[in-house]
Amino acid sequence: QLIPRGIRSPEVLAVMRKVPRHLFIEQNFHGDAYGDHPLPIGADQTISQPYMVALMTELLDVRTDQRVLEIGTGSGYQTAILAELAREVYTVERITSLANSAQSRFEQLHYTNIQVRIGDGTVGWKEYAPYHRILVTAGAPSVPEPLIEQLADGGKLVIPVGSRMSQMLHVLTKQQGQLHTTTSCPCVFVRLIGQDGWEH
Ligand code: SAM
């Protein structure tokens, strides 16, 4: 389903084949784990459809020597995909139960390059900045300023931006302090809630 929809990167296709998506989903949805749609993960949140995970990963263009910040850990599936491609991944989730379940999955699957933080990711994670790549997996009203500040020069930020109901996938690159923005496609994400996001 990924190749006919235009995913081309051999690295992305390889990790999408490798990471066991069903292990990030509750048992009663296992039969549906690889379907072309999002699924509930509890706490009114969703795991994105495989195509959206692959597309955002391809747009992010992660290299093996890079440090990545992800906002919106959710089930941890996208985090694991990033951890297969990057040197280290820092991921922030505002809902404690989701962050804890994701952390247990990372331990079970022996990921040693993922750090999880519980909190508001719209303010980023200053301690480990700057990041070569930043991925936001929830829909924002605008690009949070702290994330722009914490993006390394030459870095890339992928984020859905728009209204509460629908967004456009934005790709920002920072070069010599200047930001360049392109858009990829329309999308629908749960809301990014926080200081530089939507109000709760
Ligand atoms: N990428 C995830 C996966 O693979 O399962 C799915 C992410 S889900 C679409 C969006 C997540 O963003 C939710 O778990 C939600 O709680 C989280 N979120 C929303 N606002 C946030 C914020 N300000 N900081 C951190 N996480 C946030």
Query: Whole-angstrom Cα distance, residue 118 to residue 93?
Result: 5
Give, using CA atoms, the residue closest to atom 15 of ligand 1: 72
Contact yes or no for 156/82 (Cβ under 8 A): no
Active-site amino acid positions: 48
Q: How far is the centre of ligand 1, averaged over its atoms, from the C-alpha of 176 (Å)? A: 30
192 lines ligand 1 (CB under 6 A): yes
120 lines ligand 1 (CB under 6 A): yes
The per-residue pLDDT string of the chain (200 residues; one tens digit each, 9 = 90 and over) reads 999 999 999 999 999 999 999 999 999 999 999 999 999 999 999 999 999 999 999 999 999 999 999 999 999 999 999 999 999 999 999 999 999 999 999 999 999 999 999 999 999 999 999 999 999 999 999 999 999 999 999 999 999 999 999 999 999 999 999 999 999 999 999 999 999 999 98
Query: Whole-angstrom Cα distance, residue 55 to residue 185?
Result: 10
Q: How far is the centre of ligand 1, averaged over its atoms, from the C-alpha of 75 (Å)? A: 9
- Amino acid identity for residue 179 in this structure: L
78 lines ligand 1 (CB under 6 A): yes
Q: How far is the centre of ligand 1, averaged over its atoms, from the C-alpha of 76 (Å)? A: 9
Query: Whole-angstrom Cα distance, residue 121 to residue 65?
Result: 23
Quickly count: other Cβ atoms within 10 Å of residue 21's Cβ. 19
Backbone angles phi, psi at 171, to 5 degrees: -120, 115
Query: Whole-angstrom Cα distance, residue 167 to residue 44?
Result: 19
Contact yes or no for 170/118 (Cβ under 8 A): no
